[in-house]
């Protein structure tokens, strides 16, 4: 059914990776994947358009933290409980703990296969479980 696919946002500075993942996800009808090359662009998009899931590159520092905090605070168009996964070059224990407290489903360390990213997108695209039921 057109228009019934879950809407996900993929934020990554590498256009080849973004385009490949978005194209394959669309072709496999996993989700409609929107792309942003930066967290700033993602923030602008999320101010005007709701998303059902987010896959964010956290960069070298904690740049994604402010965006994720805005999502969790309900300050953007997506629901506060929107499922989120992160990608990173590296992630120490204290950073992982910070993101875990913000209910991040998964942190994927680079390099990883496109197949892995698609599996995560598939998980993010699952419709929410009814109250009282766990995935």
What is the model's pLDDT at position 23?
96
Please give the model's pTM, rounded to 2 decimal places.
Answer: 0.89
- CA separation for the pair 22, 60 (Å, rounded): 23
Mean pLDDT within 6-26: 95
Please determine, for residue 11, whether its predicted confidence score (pLDDT) is greater than 80: yes
More confident residue, 129 or 106: 106
62-to-27, 39, 66, 83 alpha-carbon distances in Å? 33, 11, 8, 19
Write out pLDDT tens, residues 44-103. 999 999 999 999 998 856 678 899 999 999 999 999 999 999 999 888 899 889 899 999
Please determine, for residue 7, whether its predicted confidence score (pLDDT) is greater than 70: yes
More confident residue, 3 or 33: 33
- CA separation for the pair 96, 8 (Å, rounded): 22
What is the model's pLDDT at position 53?
96
Average confidence score pLDDT of the chain: 90
Q: Which domains does the chain have, with CATH numbers?
A: 7-124 (3.40.50.2300)
What is the model's pLDDT at position 60?
59
């Amino acid at each position: 059914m057109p228009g019934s696919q879950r809407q996900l946002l993929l934020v990554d500075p590498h256009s080849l990776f973004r385009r490949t993942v978005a194209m394959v996800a669309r072709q496999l009808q996993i989700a409609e994947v929107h792309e942003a090359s930066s967290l700033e662009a993602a923030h602008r998009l999320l101010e005007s358009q709701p998303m059902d899931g987010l896959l964010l590159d956290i960069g070298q520092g904690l740049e994604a933290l402010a965006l994720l905090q805005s999502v969790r605070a309900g300050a953007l168009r997506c629901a506060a409980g929107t499922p989120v996964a992160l990608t990173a070059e590296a992630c120490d224990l204290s950073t992982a703990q910070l993101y875990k407290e913000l209910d991040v489903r998964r942190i994927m360390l680079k390099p990883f296969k496109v197949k892995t990213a698609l599996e995560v997108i598939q998980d993010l695209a699952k419709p929410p479980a009814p109250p009282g039921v766990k995935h």
